[in-house]
Structures are given as C-alpha cells and as structure tokens.
C-alpha cells in the first residue's frame, strides 16, 4: 500500500516539473511570439530565432531533472515506492519547491530573449550580447537546482538513505522556499535585460553599465541562496571534512 511519504515525494516531483513547465512555457511562448513576428519579415533569421527560443527552455529541463531524481530516489521506477517515511517525502517537497519556484525565472528570460530576437534581427552583431543578457536570468534557476541537489544529496535521500529526521525535513522545505521564491527576481532581471539589450543595440559601449543594472536584481536571488545555504548549515547538513 502506498504510504504518505511516497505521496509527498510524488507531490515534490510534481511541484518541480509542473512549476518549471509553467515558467518555461510562458517564457518560450513570449520568445516564440517574437520569433514568429521576426521570421515573417526575415525568414533568414530562423536559426538565430531558434537559439533565442531555446534559452528559456532550460528551466523546464531542470524541473524535469529534479523530478526524475526524486522519483528515482523514491524507487518509483522500480515500483518500490511504498516504504518511504514522511520526512523523506517532505525533503522531496523542499527540493521540488526550490527548483519549481525558481523555474518561474524563465518568464524573465523569455522577456529578455524576445528583446534579443527583435534587436538581433536588425543588428546581427548583437546576437552574442543578446544571448548573454538572456542567459543571466537563468542564474536564479541554477541556484534553485543547486539547492535541490544539495537537499537531496546532503539528507542522503538521493543515495537511498531514508534516515532523515522530521525537524530537518521541515527545515529543508524552508530552504526550498528561500531560494525558490527569490527566484522570482529573475522576472525583474528579465525586464531589465530586455531594456539593456535595446540599449546595447543602440550604443555598444553601454554594455558594461547595462550589465550592472541587469545584475542588480540578481542580488535578491543571492540573498535567497545565502539563506537557503545557512538553513542547510544550521540543520547540520554540511559535514566537516
């Protein structure tokens, strides 16, 4: 019979892949819309448009990855998911929240990539810079993925060790929320990056200053990451080597 722990683990996997899919879907949708507009006028820009459209997809892949890791750790693929303690399920929810919520940064990435497509179709020389500005919004998702992997790995869940205690399990959900919600700063960063791409297309010398503005929103993601790491440390998950 399926236990509550297994159900919670499934919930964690669902949060991870579902939220990331929403974020990546919206992001790719915005980029795809800009791409369609551009190639209607300039069919030769199809390759460039495809690269930009692929940029916000990565969050979806991160969500899928964590979901797979959770399901594998829970033995869902081998049909042995029934014997899972509740704290392990909570750990999976924490990991799912970290990557899932941070996956909403793909919306910001979509905004930036759409601007990249529009500008690079007019000025091909800013393609590289457009890609850079679009990809900086992915940092939030990477922080989320990092915390998810740390949660799964440091609690031992990833390697099949189910001995994690309930207070620790509840604590890692907090770490997941810290980095996951901070990941929404990626939307702000995407808005700044979209403007920055236009600014750099207008004046290539403004690259450095535009990067500073674009990086400011990332500060809040670093706050979230820092707090998440401190939570994991406070829970005694970092072993002294």
Partner 1 sequence: MFFPEPMNKAIIGIHYLQFESCIAALHEAGIIEITDIREKIEETGDLTRNNPDPVTLSRLIATQVHIGQIRDKMLPFAQEKKGIITSLLSPGKKTPLPANPGLIPQTCALAEDFIHDTKDFLNLYQDYQSTLDRIEELTQAIETLTLLLKQDINPDYLVSSRFSDIIAGTIQSEDLSFFQELIQSKIQSGLITATSEEGEKTLVVVCAGAHEHEALQGLLRPPLFQRIVPQKDLSGKPSRLLPEKREELALTITRKEEQYEHLSFMVKARLPEVQALYEELSLQRARMEMTRRSGITRDVIFIEGFFPEKNRRLLNAILQRHAGDQYLIRILDPEKTDTIPVQYNNPKWLKPFEFLTTMYAPPRYNEIDPTPFIAPVFLLFFGLMLGDAGYGLVLLVIGTLLYRGIGQQNRSVGDMCIVLIGCAIASIICGIMEGGWFGDILPRFFGITPPLVLLDPMRSPILFFQLALIIGIIHINLGLVLGLWQNYRKKMVRLAIRDQGIWFIIQPAAAILLIQFFGWRSIPSWMAFLAGIMLLFSIGILLLGKGPMAFFDLTGFLGDWLSYVRILALALATGGIAMAINLLAGMIAAIHPLLFIPAIIFLVLGQTFNLVIQALGGVIHSLRLHYIEFFGKFYSGGGKLFHPFKAERIYTTLPQDDELSC
Q: Contact residues for partner 1 (CB under 8 A)?
A: 51, 54-55, 57-58, 61-62, 64-65, 68-69, 77, 127-129, 131-132, 135-136, 138-139, 142-143, 145-146, 149-150, 153-154, 158-159, 204-205, 207-208, 211-212, 215-216, 218-219, 221-222, 225-226, 233, 238, 240-241
Distance CA 111, CA 195 (A): 10
218: three-class secondary structure by DSSP: helix
Distance CA 192, CA 216 (A): 9
Q: Which is nearer to partner 1, 97 or 225 (CB)?
A: 225
Q: Tell me, what DSSP letter sits at residue 55? A: G
Minimal distance, residue 194 CB to partner 1, in Å:
17
Q: Which is nearer to partner 1, 68 or 86 (CB)?
A: 68
Q: Which is nearer to partner 1, 101 or 145 (CB)?
A: 145
Minimal distance, residue 239 CB to partner 1, in Å:
9
Distance CA 186, CA 215 (A): 10
For residue 12, give the nearest of 78, 76, 56, 57 by alpha carbon.
76
Minimal distance, residue 26 CB to partner 1, in Å:
19
Answer for the pair 49, 33: CB distance below 8 angstroms, yes or no.
no
Minimal distance, residue 98 CB to partner 1, in Å:
12
For residue 145, give the nearest of 108, 106, 113, 112 by alpha carbon.
106
Q: Which is nearer to partner 1, 62 or 177 (CB)?
A: 62
Minimal distance, residue 177 CB to partner 1, in Å:
19
Minimal distance, residue 4 CB to partner 1, in Å:
25
How far is CA 53 from each of CA 27, 42, 164, rounded to the nearest angstrom?
9, 16, 41
In sequence order, which residues have a C-beta less than 8 Å from that of residue 228 and are 6 or more positions away?
98, 143, 147, 175, 176, 178, 179
Minimal distance, residue 118 CB to partner 1, in Å:
19
Answer for the pair 67, 23: CB distance below 8 angstroms, yes or no.
no
Q: Which is nearer to partner 1, 68 or 199 (CB)?
A: 68
- Other CB atoms within 10 A of residue 36 CB: 12
Evaluated on CA atoms 164, 165, 168, 174, the torsion sign reads: positive
Q: Which is nearer to partner 1, 170 or 226 (CB)?
A: 226
Q: Which is nearer to partner 1, 86 or 121 (CB)?
A: 121
């Amino acid at each position: 019979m399926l236990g509550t722990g297994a159900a919670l683990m499934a919930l964690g996997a669902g949060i991870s892949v579902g939220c990331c899919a929403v974020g990546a879907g919206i992001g790719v949708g915005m980029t795809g819309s800009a791409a369609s507009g551009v190639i209607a006028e300039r069919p030769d820009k199809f390759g460039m448009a495809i690269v930009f459209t692929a940029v916000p997809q990565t969050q979806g892949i991160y969500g899928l990855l964590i979901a797979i890791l959770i399901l594998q750790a829970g033995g869902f693929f081998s049909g042995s998911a029934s014997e899972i303690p509740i704290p392990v399920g909570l750990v999976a929810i924490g990991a799912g929240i970290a990557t899932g919520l941070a996956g909403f940064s793909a919306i910001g990435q979509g905004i930036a990539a759409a601007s990249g497509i529009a500008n690079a179709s007019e000025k091909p020389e800013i393609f590289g810079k457009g890609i850079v500005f679009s990809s900086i919004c992915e940092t939030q998702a990477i922080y989320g993925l990092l915390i998810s992997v740390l949660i799964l790995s440091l609690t031992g869940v990833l390697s099949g060790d189910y001995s994690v205690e309930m207070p620790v399990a509840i604590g890692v959900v907090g770490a997941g929320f810290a980095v996951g919600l901070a990941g929404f700063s990626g939307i702000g960063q995407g808005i700044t990056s979209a403007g920055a791409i236009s600014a750099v297309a207008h004046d290539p010398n403004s690259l450095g200053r535009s990067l500073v503005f674009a990086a400011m929103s990332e500060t809040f993601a670093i706050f979230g990451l820092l707090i998440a790491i401190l939570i994991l440390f406070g829970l005694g998950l970092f072993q002294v080597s």
